[in-house]
Structure 1
Amino acid sequence: MTSVNLLGGSANYRDPEISPEGQKNTAPLSSETARINEELVDKYAEKLYDETAENILDWANTHAPGDLAVTLSMENTVLAELAKDHLPRADFLFLDTGYHFKETIEVADQVEARYPEQQLVRALPILSRQEQDQTYGLNLYAKNSTACCRMRKVEPLAVSLSPYVGWITGLRRADGPTRAQAPALSLDQTGRLKISPIITWSLEDTERFIEDNDLIIHPLTKQGYPSIGCETCTLPVAEGEDPRAGRWAGQNKTECGLHS
């Protein structure tokens, strides 16, 4: 590791393409579970492509060959509410990057209180914000957002998915061109099931479900933030703009790496 000058001046920081020491990968599935997952996707991916969220989750509850994790960004709590009724044994998984809006952390706390039957797992990066600044230099998110996302989102998710045979995502095809053809059911790079029950929903569908079920509201969604990531990398968007236009605004970047 390159030495770091913590006293100021010209410091030689670590190459951001080299992540800090520690666990960064997902444990491999057993060969039997991997085989079952592959067969499930081959058989059901086309059938589930345009299915309802409820039917997709009921399918997952019946067919997944082990435990599932429901990933929650806390932008909304739709998946938590759906899982309560259709995937009651699943854990909730929240990537606590250390750079979230305070409102996002408050929503996470409210989710933990509202859904006590399901464990909320808070996935943390190896380094704290201060440790990352000391190791890679101040504001890595501005200088190399891809490296920052890798260390604070992609790698923590990879590690946290180890106990599970699959994960539930909040992907919607309406969120932008990079997601327009996304499947409801696929395999991720580790052979785990990647299941997206609200894949066919529009933003309006999502808002309607939130209102009809009196769900927890992330206050920033009412202040021009239809898509919410880290506070340092998220801006409000104008009415009619791509919902994800405020993510990494001004950078040639549309995804953090979780879904690419």
Structure 2
Amino acid sequence: MKEKIDYLNKELQGLPLAESIPLIIKNFDGKKVFSTSFGIEDQVLTHFIAPYAEFVNTFTLDTGRQFAETYEVFQRTQNKYPKLNIKTFFPDAADINTYVSEQGINGFYNSIESRKECCRIRKVVPLGKAIKGAELWITGLRAEQSENRSDMQFLEWDEANQLVKFNPLLHYTLKETEALIDTYNIPLNSLYKKGYLSIGCAPCTRALAEGEPFRAGRWWWEDGKKECGLHIHTDKNY
């Protein structure tokens, strides 16, 4: 697998999305999945994956704490790409009930450990169900988003999930991503133009102030590296 990944990473250099996505879909025979949170990156990828909907299982994780605007863009996306069947995965109700009874309805503010446990229940566990048996997982990660992601590759072996992760937008800048939204009239979450560049759960996301880094609006009350546990990059647990 390493040789295949190394070879394809070289082939992907400089390719536009319209070429890189079908190339990778063609080169992986097993189950292929695409996870969307309906953020700007995932919306761009949705547009380019839609023509290959029969070959890729598209899914989203509904944590139960989403913005209303996220559901709204979900519907507009389904309307624009009717052949794309977006399956929704939910957290286990018993796990949520236990968490709320022990930590409180907004227990994620109590400590980093409490927040990570909420993310685990609402995101990580459902993700495991969504990608089970997959050989390839397509994501909207960009190197520009944070230092944690700056040394990633287009294709990487995800040891934790035992599959290959494909990051087609890796070297795209935010301006280039926005240009694709405009060029193809792709649905965009209305919160984006209000300063919500990275949109997660409503209680854990705020708008960015001018000059703040891309991820500053997520879990803003915490310091240091801020990830929810969905993306574990090679041998690094972010």
TM-score range (shorter-chain normalised) is 0.7 to 0.9
CA distance in 1, matches of 2:79, 2:55: 17
1:107-126 matches, within 5 Å, as 107-126=73-92
1:127-206 matches, within 5 Å, as 127=93, 131=97, 132-143=99-110, 144-188=114-158, 189-206=160-177
SS at match of 1:238: coil
- Residue 206 of structure 2 is aligned to residue 235 of structure 1: yes
Structure-1 residue corresponding to 2:235: none
Q: 1:58 aligns with which of 22, 37, 46?
A: 22
Per-residue deviation, residues 68-123 of structure 1 (Å, max 9, x unmatched): 11111111311110102356521211111111111111111222222221211111
1:14-33 matches, within 5 Å, as none
Cα RMSD between the aligned structures? 2.0
TM-score of the two chains, using structure 2 as the length reference: 0.86
CA distance in 2, matches of 1:239, 1:180: 22
TM-score of the two chains, using structure 1 as the length reference: 0.79
1:205-244 matches, within 5 Å, as 205-244=176-215
| Percent of aligned pairs with the same amino acid | 31
Structure-1 residue corresponding to 2:61: 95
Which structure 1 residue ranges, 4+ long, deviate > 6 Å from structure 2?
none
**Structure with more of its chain in helix, by fraction:** 2
Structure-2 residue corresponding to 1:73: 37
What amino acid is aligned across from residue 124 of structure 1 in structure 2?
Answer: F
Contact 2:32 2:137 in 1 (8 A): yes
What amino acid is aligned across from residue 173 of structure 1 in structure 2?
Answer: A
Q: Which structure has the larger Rg over C-alpha atoms? A: 1
Structure-2 residue corresponding to 1:9: none
Per-residue deviation, residues 47-78 of structure 1 (Å, max 9, x unmatched): 43554323321222211122211111111311
Structure-2 residue corresponding to 1:44: 8
How far the C-alpha of 1:129 sits from its partner, in A, is 9.1
Contact 1:98 1:129 in 2 (8 A): no
Give ranges in structure 2 of 5+ residues lacking alignment.
Answer: 233-238
CA distance in 1, matches of 2:207, 2:94: 26
SS at match of 2:210: coil
Aligned residues: 224
Structure-1 residue corresponding to 2:226: 254
- Which deviates further from its counterpart, 138-147 or 171-180? 138-147
